[in-house]
Structure 1
Amino acid sequence: MSSQKNILIVGTGGVGAVFGSRFQYAGARVSVVCRSNFNKVKESGFTIRSLKFGNTVFVPDCVISAKNDQAFDSVFYDYVFVSTKSLPNVENPALAILPFINSPDTIIVLLQNGIGVEDPFSILFPNNPILSCVVRVNSTQIEPSIIQHGTLCCLLYNFYTSLKSPKFSDTILKEFDAFLKLAKVESIISPNIQKERWLKLAWNAAFGSISVLSGGKDGKSLAEDIYTCTLMRDTMREVFAVGHAVLSEPLVDGSIEESIESYVSLVLTRPNAVYPSMLYDYQFKRPMEHQVIIKNPIDLAEKAKVSTPLLKTLYALLISIEGGRL
């Protein structure tokens, strides 16, 4: 096996393109799977305007059309990164990488938001290591091949494990950590990655859904309005309660109210308007990630006997308004 890492990225929006650029910088051979932006990326790659890394052009070593993936099913990839939307209510997300996984040695890296996103991959690829990640990257795809990136570029991660998962060597984590550092990506091996997922979900569930339902308000506008801010805070409290019950431990060591206040304060101090990806999906008439961000937590709450009236209300309204647009 070559010492050069062979990497595939499925889903090349703002997150996938930024990481692809960093991995190529670290010396890896980087292939990408594109859908609507295939022709543009194939022709000229990605232009990335980054406050952290400067302006660069990322030309993938191979650009694959999502419509023609069968031609590449014999290639071995060290890592397959998944940065697509997680829409298990629409189709099995794991099928997107099925043509590219031909060895149990390929490490699957999930760059998706939500709870339960790992399950489809664990079922379809029971022998492959799966790294569950929480992504901290402030990037936006402003045109099909143009990415605007700020200063954040961080991954928190660890193995996803289930009752049927084999035991994987910690060497995998150490090698991944070393590679991310070579790529100048902040790397954090989290001792409890599911707790990190719930912490991010608290904000995503509140901000994303309420932004959509408020008619498209940005985070600062929602936080400055007493009614929408109260609703966001109460929604986050519900998520904290569900996460606590599911994991059998508090999501934070200190005060929940201090954590909620930190989320609100952060968006209030941002110099530019911040909009959630769920809003962009709604505006462009694409399916929203309400299954993994709202519905899966509701289902887990019911099993844990935790009341979630706000999450249920938000979910019902999102389903209703989405149904009239798709």
Structure 2
Amino acid sequence: MANQFIYNSSQLSYAILGTGALGGYYGACLQKSGLDVHFLLHSDYEYVSKHGLVVESKNGDFTLPQVQAYSETSKMPPCDVVIVALKTTQNHLLPQMLPNLVKENGVVLVLQNGLGVEDEVAKIVGSNRVMGGLCFLCSNKVGAGHIRHLDYGEIKMGEYAANYQTAGITKRMQQIANDFESAGIKMQLAEDLLLARWQKLVWNIPYNGLSVVLDARTDELMGNSHTRSLVEELMWEVVAGAKSCDRTIPQNFVETMLQYTDKMKPYRTSMKIDYDEKRPLEVEKMFGNPLKFSQARGANLPKITMLYQQLKFLDSRNSS
């Protein structure tokens, strides 16, 4: 049941699906704190299985000379918490990955951007075995098994319930949050996962989208009066989208996000990195799904719609 502890053991086991800038950083922190962590890797598997992981961090550099690395989920042991840190463009792989990897009383923690990602996972493992997490993290993978953590790192985590009903704060959320806090990762527990996801989109939609369309870092978008105004206008459209889903984002939240980005180190967003590396973009989950949610409820979000159409064009041209 969703409100029970995941496991009665004193220590949870963790699987990391996607050992990149995000999954690699959080997984490495969890292992460094003494937890049992298992990493799924693709291109870096051979290197990491021999040399481990290196993390450069504003909170202190560290190396894990040995990690439990795997090239296939079929070789991984069932774990209490399966962290999905893949790009959403790889979610078609999850039906093969998840069923045998999450323990019977375990949970899948989806650390992905966008909206509707938990719905997909719930269809595979059941609604009562899914949580979502929103990561406020500036981190890049700079080489094989080499992660550079630039700034922030907080996770806002919430229980998923069917159709994104408000699920409150549960004991198992606290259990996982305690592990992350012990690993030096600040946690926020959200009573309403849908509200938390819309709040994250207030940042993700303008900065990820405009960084690709305008070929710009966050500091460049904030440093020009025209693009700064455009960022703010897009944020207010996200607020309107949330309202159409009966979720109210506080009036001061937009200003908080603008100030947050003003203080951020110059940052090339994850979508901009994917575009530059000619990888598929997370357009549907980050832009398409919020538009579908909103339009189905009568909301009109013209600037986000235009950004979505531009990104679809650039993504298509980039992959041809």
Q: Give me the TM-score of the superposition, normalised by structure 1.
A: 0.88
- The answer to whether structure 1 residue 193 and structure 2 residue 193 are counterparts is yes
Task: Report what 2:55 is aligned to.
Answer: 48
Task: Report what 2:261 is aligned to.
Answer: 267
| CA 101–13 in structure 1, closer or farther in 2 if over 3 Å, else same | same
The CA deviation string for residues 11-43 of structure 1, in whole angstroms up to 9 with x for no partner, is: 111211221122113322111001111122112
* CA deviation after TM superposition for structure 1 residue 59, in Å: 4.2
CA contact (8 A) 2:168 2:191 kept: no
* CA deviation after TM superposition for structure 1 residue 221, in Å: 1.1
Query: C-alpha separation between the residues in 1 aligned to 2:164 and 2:221?
Result: 43
| CA 91–83 in structure 1, closer or farther in 2 if over 3 Å, else same | closer
Query: C-alpha separation between the residues in 1 aligned to 2:66 and 2:9?
Result: 19
Unpaired segments ≥5 residues, structure 2: 1-7
> Which amino acid letter does the alignment assign opposite residue 94 of structure 1?
L
Task: Report what 2:68 is aligned to.
Answer: 62
Q: 1:308 aligns with which of 295, 301, 313?
A: 301
* CA deviation after TM superposition for structure 1 residue 136, in Å: 2.1
Unpaired segments ≥5 residues, structure 1: none
> Which amino acid letter does the alignment assign opposite residue 265 of structure 1?
Q
- The answer to whether structure 1 residue 219 and structure 2 residue 218 are counterparts is yes
| CA 175–259 in structure 1, closer or farther in 2 if over 3 Å, else same | closer
Q: Percent of pairs identical after alignment?
A: 22
> Equivalences for 1:156-171 in 2 at 5 Å?
156-162=156-162, 170-171=170-171
Task: Report what 2:3 is aligned to.
Answer: none
* CA deviation after TM superposition for structure 1 residue 323, in Å: 0.9
Query: C-alpha separation between the residues in 2 aligned to 1:106 and 1:10?
Result: 15
> Equivalences for 1:144-293 in 2 at 5 Å?
144-162=144-162, 170-214=170-214, 216-246=215-245, 248-252=246-250, 255=251, 258-270=252-264, 272-293=265-286
Q: 2:288 aligns with which of 285, 295, 301?
A: 295
CA contact (8 A) 1:158 1:190 kept: yes
| CA 267–96 in structure 1, closer or farther in 2 if over 3 Å, else same | farther
> Which amino acid letter does the alignment assign opposite residue 61 of structure 2?
N
Deviates more, 1:1-10 or 1:136-145: 1-10
Query: C-alpha separation between the residues in 2 aligned to 1:103 and 1:117?
Result: 20
* CA deviation after TM superposition for structure 1 residue 129, in Å: 1.8
Query: C-alpha separation between the residues in 2 aligned to 1:76 and 1:241?
Result: 41
Task: Report what 2:81 is aligned to.
Answer: 79
Query: C-alpha separation between the residues in 2 aligned to 1:314 and 1:16?
Result: 28
* CA deviation after TM superposition for structure 1 residue 161, in Å: 0.4
CA contact (8 A) 1:30 1:60 kept: no
Count, aligned residues: 311
Query: C-alpha separation between the residues in 2 aligned to 1:138 and 1:163?
Result: 30
Is the partner of 2:126 in helix, strand or coil? coil
Is the partner of 1:104 in helix, strand or coil? strand
Query: C-alpha separation between the residues in 2 aligned to 1:59 and 1:129?
Result: 33
Q: 1:11 aligns with which of 10, 14, 18?
A: 18
Query: C-alpha separation between the residues in 1 aligned to 2:91 and 2:127?
Result: 22
> Equivalences for 1:63-142 in 2 at 5 Å?
63-65=69-71, 68-72=72-76, 75-87=77-89, 92=92, 94-95=94-95, 97-98=97-98, 100-101=100-101, 103-126=103-126, 129-142=129-142
| CA 264–29 in structure 1, closer or farther in 2 if over 3 Å, else same | same
Is the partner of 1:105 in helix, strand or coil? strand
| CA 50–295 in structure 1, closer or farther in 2 if over 3 Å, else same | same
Query: C-alpha separation between the residues in 1 aligned to 2:241 and 2:272?
Result: 24
* CA deviation after TM superposition for structure 1 residue 144, in Å: 2.3
Question: Over the residues paired in the alignment, what is the CA RMSD in angstroms?
Answer: 2.3
Q: Give me the TM-score of the superposition, normalised by structure 2.
A: 0.89
CA contact (8 A) 1:4 1:27 kept: no
The CA deviation string for residues 45-68 of structure 1, in whole angstroms up to 9 with x for no partner, is: 11111111x111124542111xx3
Query: C-alpha separation between the residues in 1 aligned to 2:74 and 2:48?
Result: 20
CA contact (8 A) 1:6 1:77 kept: yes
